Amino acid sequence: MLQCKNLTCVREERVLFNNLNFTLTSGEILHVEGPNGIGKTSLFRLLVGLSSPYSGEICWQQENILSDRESYYQQMLYLGHKSGVKPELTALENLQFFQRLYNPSVEFDVWEILTQVGLVGYEDVLTGQLSAGQQRRVALARMWFSDCPLWILDEPFTAIDKNGVKVIENLLIKHVQNGGMVILTTHQDLSIPAELYKNLTLQKPAFGEQYV
**pLDDT digits 0-9 by tens, 108-130:** 899 999 998 999 999 999 999 99
Higher pLDDT, 65 or 204: 65
Orientation angle between helical segments 132-140 and 91-102, nearest 10 degrees: 30
Q: For the packed helices 132-140 and 162-177, what is the interaxial angle rounded to 10 degrees? A: 10
Confidence band, pLDDT 50/70/90 cuts, at residue 207: low
Going along the chain, which residue ranges are E strands? 2-11, 14-24, 29-33, 55-60, 63-64, 76-79, 150-154, 181-185, 197-201
Query: What pLDDT, on a 0 to 100 scale, did the predictor assign at position 133?
Result: 87
Would you place residue 30 in the very low, low, confident or very high pLDDT band (cuts 50, 70, 90)? very high
Torsion (CA) 185, 189, 193, 196 in degrees, nearest 10: 10
- pLDDT at 208 (0 to 100): 57
Q: Out of 101-105, 173-177, 194-198, which region has the weakest mean confidence (pLDDT)?
A: 101-105
Higher pLDDT, 160 or 25: 25
Are the C-beta atoms of 15 and 7 separated by less than 8 Å?
Answer: no
- How far apart (Å, rounded) are the C-alpha atoms in residues 185 and 40? 7
Q: Name the burial class of residue 178, with classes exposed (0-12), middle (13-18) and buried (19+) by CB atoms within 10 angstroms of its CB.
A: exposed
Percent of the chain with pLDDT over 90: 65
CA distance 157 to 137: 9
The CA distance from 123 to 115, in Å, is 10
Side-chain-side CA neighbours of 133 within 13 Å: the count stands at 10
Contact present, 52 and 1 (Cβ < 8 Å): no
- Does residue 98 register a pLDDT over 70? yes
Neighbour tally for 119: CB within 10 Å: 23
In the chain, the domains with their CATH numbers are 1-75+149-154+176-212 (3.40.50.300), 82-147 (no CATH)
Is the pLDDT reported for residue 80 higher than 80? yes
What CA–CA distance (Å, rounded) separates 112 from 99?
A: 13
pTM of the model: 0.90
pLDDT-derived band at 161, boundaries 50, 70, 90: confident
The pLDDT of residue 148 is above 60: yes
pLDDT of 135 above 80: yes
Of 165, 142, 173, 170, nearest to 28 (Cα)? 173
Contact 81, 158 (CB under 8 A): yes
**Confidence band of 162 (pLDDT split at 50, 70, 90):** confident
